[in-house]
């Protein structure tokens, strides 16, 4: 894999390009490249372990940056903003902007199913790339990289822009004299350390779905989708 074009898009040049190659390698590609290979060989070729590291590095960088930028905010507001910034939605948006999807090595089946546009896959890949930068040159470089690619989102982040959609949905339904929403897990996908949860929000007159890297974030996305439906007059029949 030639990495110079990708490095140009990322604005970072790797001393160990093989780290970037691994960060851009999906498990489906490793399965096809090493048919009959052991779980260990496939794991070593794919980016799943890097996602685990990248998630931790990203969380620390974002927490540090929010603390420095908003020293007067309380823990609740900072947590709400951090949750929004490290959500699958934000990560996949940034990943798409960096065009990571065009460079991911994935199996033919995954590609045919639209893998290059899947938010969860794009988010996972971005976390793996962050880990690759961290392993290539340490935390200071990783922090600079994260701050650069998240700059626009960090500038726009406020407690108000990172609303608790679940609370807002409950208040909206209450105002319309509808019952409070209930949330249920529909299914989960992925490995234990990189799992995606799919959740349904249901109320008297409607339902919506959301997905996320945690149950809480999936519920938030389901609530966000419910609010969009309600704004369009869907699911508003009064009881």
Give the pLDDT score at 15.
Answer: 96
Active site residue 238: no
Give pLDDT < 50 ranges for the chain.
238-239
Give the pLDDT score at 237.
Answer: 53
Give the pLDDT score at 236.
Answer: 62
Residue labelled with tokens 């369009």: 232
pTM of the model: 0.73
73-96 pLDDT, tens digit per residue, is 888 788 888 988 998 889 999 999
Active site residue 127: yes
Interhelix angle for 215-231 vs 88-97, to 10°?
80
Give the pLDDT score at 57.
Answer: 98
Give the pLDDT score at 228.
Answer: 85
The stretches of the chain forming alpha helices (DSSP H) are 4-10, 17-23, 27-33, 39-45, 48-69, 75-85, 88-97, 108-112, 119-137, 139-149, 151-156, 165-175, 215-231
182 burial (CB, 10 Å; 0-12 / 13-18 / 19+) is exposed
107-128 burial: b if 16+ Cβ within 10 Å, else e: beebeeeebbebbbbbbbbbbb
CATH class of 4-156: mainly alpha
CATH class of 165-231: alpha beta
Catalytic residue among 124, 127, 200, 219, which?
Answer: 127
Give the pLDDT score at 230.
Answer: 87
Domain boundaries, the chain: 4-156, 165-231
Catalytic residue among 48, 55, 65, 200, which?
Answer: 55
User: What's the rounded Cα separation, in Å, for the pair 156 and 225?
Assistant: 21
Give the pLDDT score at 238.
Answer: 39
């Amino acid at each position: 894999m030639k990495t110079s074009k990708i490095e140009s898009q990322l604005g970072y040049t790797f001393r160990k390009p093989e780290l970037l190659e691994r960060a851009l390698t999906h498990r489906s590609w490793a399965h096809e490249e090493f048919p009959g290979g052991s779980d260990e060989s496939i794991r070593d070729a794919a980016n799943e372990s890097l996602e685990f590291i990248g998630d931790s590095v990203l969380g620390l960088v974002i927490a540090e940056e929010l603390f420095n930028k908003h020293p007067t905010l309380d823990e609740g507001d900072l947590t709400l903003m951090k949750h929004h910034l490290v959500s699958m939605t934000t990560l996949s948006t940034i990943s798409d902007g960096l065009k990571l999807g065009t460079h991911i090595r994935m199996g033919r089946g995954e590609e045919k199913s639209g893998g290059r546009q899947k938010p969860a896959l794009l988010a996972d890949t971005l976390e793996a790339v962050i880990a690759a930068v961290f392993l290539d040159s340490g935390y200071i470089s990783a922090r600079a990289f994260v701050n650069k690619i998240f700059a626009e989102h960090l500038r726009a982040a406020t407690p108000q822009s990172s609303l608790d959609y679940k609370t807002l949905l409950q208040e909206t339904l209450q105002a319309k004299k509808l019952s409070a929403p209930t949330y249920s897990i529909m299914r989960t996908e992925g490995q234990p350390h990189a799992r995606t949860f799919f959740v349904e929000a249901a109320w008297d007159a409607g339902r919506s779905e959301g997905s996320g890297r945690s149950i809480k974030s999936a519920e938030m996305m389901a609530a966000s989708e419910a609010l969009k439906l309600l704004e369009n007059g869907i699911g508003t029949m009064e009881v």
